[in-house]
Amino acid sequence: MSRWFSLARWWSMVLKEFLQLRRDRITFGMIIGLPLVQLTLFGFAINTDPRHLPTAVVAGEHSEFTRSYLAALQNSDYFQIIGTLPDQAAATQALVQGKVQFVVHIPPDFSRRLVRGEHPSLLVEADATDPAATGMALAALGQLAQTAAHKDLNGPLAALQPAPPAFDVTVHRLYNPEGNTQFNVVPGLMGVILTMTMVMMTGLAMTRERERGTMENLLATPVRPLEVMSGKIIPYVAIGLVQSTIILLAARYVFHVPIVGNVGTIYLAALLFVAANLTVGITLSSLAQNQLQAMQLTMFYFLPNLLLSGFMFPFRGMPGWAQFIGNLLPLTHFNRLIRGILLKGSGLVELWPSIWPLLLFTTVVMGIAVKFYRRTLD
Amino acid sequence: MTEYAIDVHGLNKHFGDKHVVKDLSLRVRRGEIFGFLGPNGSGKTTSIRMMCGLLTPDSGSGQCLGHDLSDSDAIKRKVGYMTQKFSYWDDLTIRENLDFVARMYQMPRRREAVDRTLEGLGLTSRAKQLTGALSGGWKQRLALAACMLHEPQLLLLDEPTAGVDPSARRDFWEELHRLAAQGISVLVSTHYMDEAERCHKLAYIAYGRLLAQGTADEVIASQSLATWAVAGTRLAELSQLLHGQPGVAQTVVFGGALHVSGPDGALLEATLRRITAGQPVTLTQVATGLEDVFIYLMNQSADNYAVPA
Ligand SMILES: Nc1ncnc2c1ncn2[C@@H]1O[C@H](COP(=O)(O)OP(=O)(O)OP(=O)(O)O)[C@@H](O)[C@H]1O
Ligand SMILES: [Mg+2]
């Protein structure tokens, strides 16, 4: 036993890492500061349901109908009418310059044709370069026409009201009824922040020894690869849990994210995820020749995690091959775990499909790390 | 138990297409202090690293303390290796560094051993200082003490006294001889002649090739150089004059005298008498020193092996 893995040697590695970490003020500050800054930035900044989008009107007429329609737009919160424009040319220019997101065109004879029952059209031009920015507002448009019509077309004009659809569809928005973006983003941020700090910190761990020349000393002692690697990882497990706590507290008390599930389960998920990322970091650390390379490899690993994990963009919206890659990444599974626990109150049984991939990932990557550990200076 | 602490033959090492160590064969007896000398970049550090398993030789074989070179785990446990470049942790205190080493070797009664080492170094009162704050010489002394902490049977010391003051160096060599008397073997690389003379045996390596091996006297005898000391004034001019003359291999200034050496004693004497005739200098034949021999070896190997640029 002591030949292959010695607890005493392993523990002295752990102690050494803790001591060095404690004296590294900047790193230590980053560990606490980074989650706070990122949470504040992204938690408040990211909104996938933007409101109050600047809207201009090209009004061919001023009638009760159009006033009422514009009021409905304004009241929906999605549109903010910032003024009227004289003609099509001005409208195009405003859209090109990005001054407005929407232009609503009201044809000159709109109310006359409406009253005659000719089913006239309103034209809404949208700057749809960013589908996410306009999507929700455009979806609201149709509904608004109905509402406005319902309000104004009464008495003798009631016949012009659109017929009700043949059947109704009732939607229950579960787990996040108000569609609050933060409820989705803040738990997702937990995984993003942990990925970033865990992989980077351990990524530097081994290359730092190599660059400072202390690796030669370490290699000359009887210490075994597994002792070095796991010993270097342990302090960061603790750090990962501290960061998780900071983020959970902020989620609960700053962003008012409901925590439906069990707190113990949250920490279990965090622990699994932290372990997975640390093994990645330590592997990158063995592969890289120096700290700069380790940083570059970290970024190389971080980007697909950020983009393909379902944090930034809806997972189901990705093509099959991208989902396949996404499923290989720990962040994907952690996102499912944390959202499941926080918002849906899932338990271990429901979460198992996302737990075993993390376990498997950690084992395989740790194997790779030990294999790539260089026992000599060659 | 084999008779030799180190017994390697035919070691080769390449870095890329650079042949850094060429067919190195070396034997260090138990209890022997073996000096390893050679100019900068000659392959001393590389050779030492191969012996303690930090580098894998491209070819060649050998044993270290009875273990095959490939069994580096067994070797590491019994060997104390001091790196040329300081390689302890600057952001740990002196005691923490020693403690870490003691734990790595799973020493029984670790604390006692660390305390003893601190005391021996005279660093007990500074044990809580960060190692990075030590002066260069003190770092060197700490590294030396740390590599001996686990009571190894073989010490591989790569320029252990570079930058260490004379009195600490004398203490260090006394300690080495005491250890050797207890049966501990030492391979030590150095650039200091006085240290070379304190070794039981010497090896001289240049351009990766072992050029001479044996006791100091044997190494000197092997080159059969004749050396004359020229005392007088204007020695620098004389040195210029002698350069390239028949029988003159090298001139080296030693204090107030010029040492002139060459492989052919008679020819050298004739040349000297001819050139110095009528000048106010005295000629005396002296015993060839280690330094004369090393400089001779270095010049010879530069002529023989240096790759033209
Ligand atoms: N890791 C390495 N990669 C490439 N070349 C190397 C490496 N280590 C050493 N060398 C080369 O091998 C040669 C021998 O180096 P080595 O360090 O063994 O010399 P040395 O005798 O210890 O020199 P010094 O007296 O300056 O310490 C040098 O030319 C050096 O440039
Ligand atoms: Mg060297």
Which chain B residues are closer than 8 Å to A23 by Cβ?
Answer: 91, 130
SS3 at position B245 = coil
Q: Is the pLDDT of residue A2 over 80?
A: no
The strand ranges marked E within A88-218 are: 102-106, 123-126
Is B202 found in the same domain as B236? no
Report the pLDDT averaged over residues A113-138.
83
Read off the tokens for B272. Answer: 């000297």
Please name the residue of chain A whose CA is at the shortest distance from the CA of residue B105. Answer: A222
Residue B307, domain member (yes or no): no
Write out residues with Cβ below 6 Å of ligand 1.
B 15, 20, 38, 40-46, 84
Q: What is d(CA A232, CA A11) in angstroms, rounded to the nearest whole number? A: 10
* Closest approach of A128 to chain B, Cα-based (Å): 56
Is B81 found in the same domain as B125? yes
pLDDT tens, position by position, for chain B (309 residues)? 578 999 999 999 999 999 999 999 999 999 999 999 999 999 999 999 999 889 999 999 999 999 999 898 899 999 999 999 999 999 999 999 999 999 999 999 999 999 999 998 889 999 999 999 999 889 988 998 999 999 999 999 999 998 889 998 998 899 899 999 999 999 999 999 899 999 999 999 999 999 999 999 999 999 889 999 998 888 888 888 888 888 899 998 887 889 999 998 889 999 988 888 888 888 899 999 898 999 999 888 877 665 543
Q: What is d(CA A100, CA A28) in angstroms, rounded to the nearest whole number? A: 45
- Which residue segment(s) compose the domain that B263 sits in? 224-287
For residue B307, the model assigns a pLDDT of 53
Nearest to A110 by CA among A68, A156, A164: A68
CB-CB under 8 Å, B83 with A216: yes
Question: Domain count of chain B?
Answer: 2
Q: Are B252 and B291 in contact (CB under 8 A)?
A: yes
Q: What is d(CA B103, CA B82) in angstroms, rounded to the nearest whole number? A: 17
Sheet with B257-262, strands from edge to edge, namely B250-254, B257-262, B226-232, B281-286
For residue range B92-109, list pLDDT tens digits in order: 999 999 999 999 999 999
Is B229 found in the same domain as B148? no
Q: Are A276 and A358 in contact (CB under 8 A)?
A: yes
Is A209 found in the same domain as A111? no
CB-CB under 8 Å, A214 with B89: yes
Q: What is d(CA B137, CA B164) in angstroms, rounded to the nearest whole number? A: 5
Q: Is the pLDDT of residue A43 over 50?
A: yes
Is the CA virtual torsion B186, B187, B191, B196 positive or negative?
positive
Q: Cβ-count burial of A142 within 10 angstroms (0-12 exposed, 13-18 middle, 19+ buried)?
A: exposed
Is A206 found in the same domain as A96? no
- Residue A55 C-alpha from the chain's centroid: 28
Q: Are A151 and A117 in contact (CB under 8 A)?
A: no
What residues contact A230, with CB distance under 8 A and at least 6 apart?
Answer: A10, A13
User: What count of other Cβ atoms lies within 10 Å of the Cβ of residue A40?
Assistant: 12
Q: Which atom belonging to ligand 1 lies closest to the Cα atom of B208?
A: 14
User: What count of other Cβ atoms lies within 10 Å of the Cβ of residue A107?
Assistant: 17
Question: CATH number for the domain including B265?
Answer: 3.30.70.100
Read off the tokens for A168. Answer: 């109704």
Question: CATH number for the domain including A138?
Answer: 3.40.1710.10
Is B185 found in the same domain as B102? yes
Read off the tokens for B117. Answer: 């080492």
- DSSP class of A167: S
Is B135 found in the same domain as B55? yes
What is the pLDDT confidence band of residue A240, given thresholds at 50, 70 and 90? very high
Domain boundary among A139, A174, A209: A174
SS3 at position A3 = coil
Residue A24, domain member (yes or no): no
Is B169 found in the same domain as B240? no
Within A256-328, residue ranges assigned H as helices are: 263-287, 291-308, 320-328
Is B266 found in the same domain as B234? yes
For residue A9, the model assigns a pLDDT of 93
Q: Are B215 and B200 in contact (CB under 8 A)?
A: yes
Residue B292, domain member (yes or no): no
* Closest approach of B7 to chain A, Cα-based (Å): 19
Q: What is d(CA A141, CA A105) in angstroms, rounded to the nearest whole number? A: 13
Is A202 found in the same domain as A130? no
What stretch of H or E contains B162? none
Pick the more confident residue, B132 or A136: B132
- Residue B126 C-alpha from the chain's centroid: 30
Ligand nearest to the CA of A210: 1
Residue A38, domain member (yes or no): no
For residue A114, the model assigns a pLDDT of 81
Is A126 found in the same domain as A73? yes
Q: What is d(CA A290, CA A295) in angstroms, rounded to the nearest whole number? A: 9
Question: CATH number for the domain including B196?
Answer: 3.40.50.300
CB-CB under 8 Å, B77 with A222: yes
Residue B308, domain member (yes or no): no
Query: By mean pLDDT, which of A110-119, A243-252, A362-371, B73-82 is the weakest?
Result: A110-119
Is B65 found in the same domain as B17? yes
Is B283 found in the same domain as B201? no
Residue B52 is nearest to which of A214, A220, A223, comparing CB atoms? A220
Is A185 found in the same domain as A160? no
Is A109 found in the same domain as A152? yes
SS3 at position A314 = coil
User: What count of other Cβ atoms lies within 10 Å of the Cβ of residue B150?
Assistant: 20
Q: What is d(CA A67, CA A73) in angstroms, rounded to the nearest whole number? A: 10
Please name the residue of chain A whose CA is at the shortest distance from the CA of residue B82. Answer: A217
Q: How far is the CA of B145 from the centre of ligand 1 (A)?
A: 25
Nearest to B51 by CA among B87, B76, B32, B34: B76
Nearest to A21 by CA among A173, A242, A188, A180: A242
Is A256 found in the same domain as A127? no
Pick the more confident residue, A212 or A66: A212
Report the pLDDT averaged over residues A183-201.
89
Q: B250-289 b/e with 16+ CB inside 10 Å = b?
A: bbbeeeebbbbbbebbeebbebbeebbeeeebeeeeeebb
Residue A42, domain member (yes or no): no
Task: Name the range with the highest mean pLDDT among A67-76, A151-160, B113-122.
Answer: B113-122
SS3 at position A243 = helix
Q: What is d(CA B97, CA B141) in angstroms, rounded to the nearest whole number? A: 13
CB-CB under 8 Å, B96 with A223: no
Is A360 found in the same domain as A256? yes
Is A246 found in the same domain as A220? yes
Is B277 found in the same domain as B147? no
Is B271 found in the same domain as B187? no
- Which residue segment(s) compose the domain that A126 sits in? 53-174
Q: What is the mean pLDDT of chain A?
A: 87
Is A208 found in the same domain as A167? no
Q: What is d(CA A319, CA B87) in angstroms, rounded to the nearest whole number? A: 51
Task: Name the range with the highest mean pLDDT among A126-130, A139-143, B27-31, B300-304.
Answer: B27-31
For residue range A16-42, list pLDDT tens digits in order: 999 999 898 888 888 888 888 888 888
Instruction: Give the length of chain B.
Output: 309
Question: Domain count of chain A?
Answer: 2
User: What count of other Cβ atoms lies within 10 Å of the Cβ of residue B119?
Assistant: 11
Q: Are B156 and B128 in contact (CB under 8 A)?
A: no
Which chain A residues are closer than 8 Å to B104 by Cβ?
Answer: 9, 12, 221-223
* Closest approach of B177 to chain A, Cα-based (Å): 24
What is the pLDDT confidence band of residue A157, given thresholds at 50, 70 and 90? low
Is the CA virtual torsion A300, A305, A311, A312 positive or negative?
positive
For residue A153, the model assigns a pLDDT of 67
Q: How far is the CA of B84 from the centre of ligand 1 (A)?
A: 11
Read off the tokens for A171. Answer: 């939607």
Residue B258, domain member (yes or no): yes
Domain boundary among A174, A208, A241: A174
Is A187 found in the same domain as A166? no
Residue B298, domain member (yes or no): no
Q: What is d(CA A353, CA A24) in angstroms, rounded to the nearest whole number? A: 39
User: What count of other Cβ atoms lies within 10 Å of the Cβ of residue A119?
Assistant: 9
Domain boundary among B161, B187, B220: B220
* Closest approach of B52 to chain A, Cα-based (Å): 7
Residue A159, domain member (yes or no): yes
Query: By mean pLDDT, which of A172-176, A235-239, B238-242, B255-259 is the weakest?
Result: A172-176
Residues in A 211-240 with any Cβ partner in B closer than 8 A? 212-217, 219-223
Longest Cα–Cα distance of chain A, Å, equals 97
- Mutation target to probe the B interface, by most B beta carbons within 10 A, among A217, A224, A226 is A217
Is B192 found in the same domain as B233? no
% of chain A residues with pLDDT over 70: 95
Q: Is the pLDDT of residue A180 over 80?
A: no
Nearest to B261 by CA among B282, B245, B276, B280: B245
Q: Are A106 and A122 in contact (CB under 8 A)?
A: yes
Domain boundary among A174, A192, A225: A174
Q: How far is the CA of B172 from the centre of ligand 1 (A)?
A: 26
Q: Are A112 and A62 in contact (CB under 8 A)?
A: no
Q: Is the pLDDT of residue A1 over 50?
A: no
Residue B91 is nearest to which of A23, A221, A377, comparing CB atoms? A23
Residue B297, domain member (yes or no): no
CB-CB under 8 Å, A378 with B55: yes
Record the pTM.
0.82
Left (φ > 0), alpha (ψ -120 to 50) or beta: where does B38 sit?
left
Is A274 found in the same domain as A153? no
